Structure 1
Amino acid sequence: MVYLAVFVDMLGFGVILPLLPFRTERLGGSGVWLGGVLTAYALAQFVAAPVLGALSDRFGRRPLLLTSLAGSAVSLALTGVAGSLPALLSARVVAGLCGGAIAVGQAYAVDLAEPGERTRALGMVGASIGMGFVFGPAIGAALAGLGFAGVSFVAGGIALANLIAGAVLLPRAARPAGQRPSQRSGNPLATLVQAVRLRALRPLLGAVFAATFAFAGMEATYALLGGRQHGLGPRGLGLVFTGVGVVMAVVQGGVVGRVTDRFGDRRIAVTGAALLGLGLVTLPYGPAWLSYAALAVLATGQGLLAPTTATLIARAGGSALGGVLGIGQSASAAARAVGPIAAGAAFDLRPAMPYLLGAALCGLAAALILRHHRGADFHPDAAPAEQPA
């Protein structure tokens, strides 16, 4: 049910994405306003994710996840009634604050999994997110005839149904007995500060930021590149990004758990960073078929990288599971906030520039992952490394 709750939550969010730019324009927004509306979600998620994760360590996963699902329904309703640019921007901020619940869902799934199944569980959460973004925009495009408000209210109804289903079906105890933190009454902010001070966590957060920056830059600029080099229009681009989402979902949902069982999370994370970089450096060159092959390679790399880095972060954080996963989501959100802007500026200088920059960042991500406990892979039963600076 945790995977279903995350999937439906992302589905509702994805439904309105194709219409947001047009709604912003209709309300009189310029390109700057559009960038602000799209960035507001990531910035709010950057702030909220570690706090929600830490609160879930203290009060439990279920109540925090349900609260966030309720907030998603409210944010979509607010989006539908927003009659001005400030109101629309505020609604997206509310959505981002609730979007920090991804970390709670990750922690929930890890709590319910056996120690050796953590990466597989996190991969399933990633697949749920990916499929939500695959099907959500397609549904939104199909419902466009209802108008922006109508589509927003449909998405809000989906979110409300998700909340009701979660209240009935989500397990009441996320952690088996005997696996709860020794202290549940501590200050969540103090827990976050302590988690950030872990030496084992810093290179992983840097790797997440670098790799997400690279991937978000590709997402922001490929429409321009594909249109110029291969004549792709909106329909073709939609199919391309649907294919990228499907590849990522398949890798995270069915492949990553198997390969990490054999090779370990750290090696697979490094492999994922390498594949992501290889796809990016190949993408702006050659004919259309090579571009599509590069997209499949980088989607595979991102599908391998995201759940394995999340697993390594979870192990580094010890009992502050929700808090450290929230910090990981915060690093990802920060990259998604600034990556598209930087990639757009780089594209204006030279179309290949954001992809070459992204490949270099993937190399940095691989180096940071290797630096994390260099010389030894984590194993499912390994004790977390809690080493404050």
Structure 2
Amino acid sequence: MSFIMVTVLIDMISIGLIIPVLPHLVGTFTAAPAEQAFWFGAVTFSFGVANFFGAPILGGLSDRFGRRPVLLIGIAGLALSFFVTAVATALWMLIVVRLFSGAMQANAAVANAYVADITAPEDRARRFGLLGAAFGVGFILGPVIGGLLGGIDVRWPFIAAGVMAVLNWIYGFFVLPESLPTTQRRNFEWRRANPVSALSGLVKLKGIGLLVVVIGLASLAQFTLHTTWVLYTSFKFGWGPAENGWSLFAVGLMTALVQGVLLKHLLARFSPQRLAVMGLVSSSLAYLGWGLATQGWMMYGVIFLNILGYAAASALQSVVSNAADARTQGQTMGSVASLNSLMAVVAPVVGAALLGIVSHRPAGDFLMGLPFYFCAALQLLGTTLAIRHFRRHRALHPAAA
């Protein structure tokens, strides 16, 4: 577990480095806020499209050849994409490199399959929480460093991220052990690896059903948040790379605290199913709070109050993982990643459109929070479907509704 956590930590630091500055790098090639929002959406859209097709393929390959070589391929793709982005001189270069990176990168899915390989089903929610804590620590360090470097030059964080990815590849090559025994591997088949078949197989897993829709809605809300946060706070509060870096530091801090420390205590009191529902409710209120915020400090207040929201993903992840057998963890996690990527394709289009509608409004206008109101509605619908699903399978006591 310690090996994969270090790999994920370094991976997320490198990714977190670029989050506060990528919208501003796109802005160097545009002339107006609406144009900046559109092209930032296009850059993010390109990654999601490529990852939608690539994730189930790489997940299936990890079931055939093991987790370690697929992780190394993904890390190498990240490193190359960061360095090319740092020297990009046109928007088309950013789009092409994000297409390449999306096709090569399925690190989150393979890391989750890795954890499932080495963990008993009853402990997976807690272990996924530890992995989430590593993600959180990466987001504590990455955005802050990226914000500080971006305050000097918006291209420096990409160079730093590329160096971190190279170090991660070296660590993975020389230190990270393989988690999938040869006796539990299965042949790779293209018919199972295409995204439509992968998602169809995910729906057919016993006990999943409507949860696929719940995960999709929650993912769409999350990716809409990701694609609009920096521009939203820039338009509404005048934040720059440094301020956005510190806000993402707060998100990473809470993620690490809840998933790394509090989750095991929450799971001792609540089932993963009930914890997922409570987390979805908490996230719905958080999105609404961010949209209604009138001062920058209020964004931090919502971040620190959304405790249960940070536990929902790990709870849902454990339910899906436990529905798959040992030979199909990579394919299953790849299918979840493909679903997330599909939402990552839709989110920039929706987020950019919603931001474009309100970008000309004054900072104090109520409608400036439109992207976050949309996210709250998605999460509320997901909550309703989750309650219905768990009631149907008698995994959630009716009182939890």
TM-score (normalised: structure 1): 0.83
Within the candidate set 102, 120, 123, 1:117 is matched to 123
Match of 1:333 in 2: 341
Aligned to 1:3: 5
Unpaired segments of 5 or more residues in structure 1? 379-389
1:366 to 378, 383, 386: 383
Aligned to 1:387: none
Aligned counterpart, 2:350 = 342
Aligned to 1:69: 75
CA offset at residue 10 of structure 1? 2.0
Q: 1: CA distance between counterparts of 2:68 and 2:293?
A: 49
| Preserved contact between residue 284 and residue 355 of structure 1 (Cα < 8 Å) | yes
- State the distance in 2 between where 1:21 and 1:336 align: 16
Aligned equivalents of 1:73 and 1:92: distance in 2? 12
Return the alpha-carbon distance in structure 2 between the equivalents of residues 346 and 82 of structure 1: 28
Map of 1:208 onto structure 2 = 215
From 255, 260, 264, give the equivalent of 1:253: 260
In the alignment, is residue 377 of structure 1 matched against residue 390 of structure 2? no
Structure 2 residue 182 is matched with structure 1 residue 187: no
Give the conservation status (yes or no) of the 8 Å contact 1:283–1:291: yes
Q: Does 1:278 align with 2:282?
A: no
Q: Does structure 1 residue 354 correspond to structure 2 residue 389?
A: no
- d(CA) in 1 for partners of 2:154 and 2:214? 37
Within the alignment, does 1:15 sit opposite 2:17 as a pair? yes
Letter in 2 for 1:244: V
Counterpart of 2:162?
Answer: 156
1:263 counterpart = 2:233: no
Decide whether the 8 Å contact of 2:280 with 2:382 is kept in 1.
yes
Please give the per-residue CA displacement for 1:119-140, whole angstroms capped at 9, x wherever unaligned. Answer: 1221222222233233223222
**What are the Cα deviations for residues 267-299 of structure 1, in whole angstroms up to 9, with x where unaligned?**
11111101111222334447656654333333x
Consecutive unaligned residues of structure 2, counting only runs of 5 or more, are 359-366, 397-401
The answer to whether the 8 Å contact 1:51/1:189 transfers is: no
Counterpart in the other structure of 2:323? 316
Aligned to 1:102: 108
Partner residue, 1:43: 49
CA distance in 1, matches of 2:388, 2:190: 28
Which stretch of structure 1 is more off in the superposition, 187-196 or 274-283? 187-196
Which amino acid in 1 is paired with 2:147? A
1:130 paired to 2:147: no
- 2:315 is paired with a residue whose SS is helix
Q: Which residue is equivalent to 2:173?
A: 167
Q: Structure 1 pair 39/134, CA: closer, same or farther in 2 (3 Å)?
A: farther
Question: Which has the higher mean CA deviation after the structures are superposed, 252-261 or 348-357?
Answer: 348-357
Determine helix, strand or coil for the equivalent of 1:320.
helix
| Counterpart-to-counterpart distance in 2, 1:36 and 1:292 | 28
Call closer, same or farther: CA 1:357–1:148 in 2, change over 3 Å: closer
Match in the other structure for 1:385: none
How large is the Cα RMSD of the aligned pairs? 3.0
Alignment partners' CA distance in 1, 2:19 and 2:375: 25
Shift of residue 107, structure 1, vs aligned partner: 0.6
After the TM superposition, which of the residue ranges 34-43 and 19-28 deviates more from structure 2?
19-28
Secondary structure of 1:18's aligned partner = coil
Q: 1:377 to 1:261 in 2, by over 3 A?
A: farther
Distance 1:258 1:149, change over 3 A: same
The offset of 1:66, in angstroms, is 1.5
Task: Assess if the C-alpha contact under 8 Å between 1:203 and 1:372 holds in 2.
Answer: yes
* Residue 78, structure 1, aligned to residue 84, structure 2: yes
User: What is the count of residue pairs matched by the alignment?
Assistant: 372
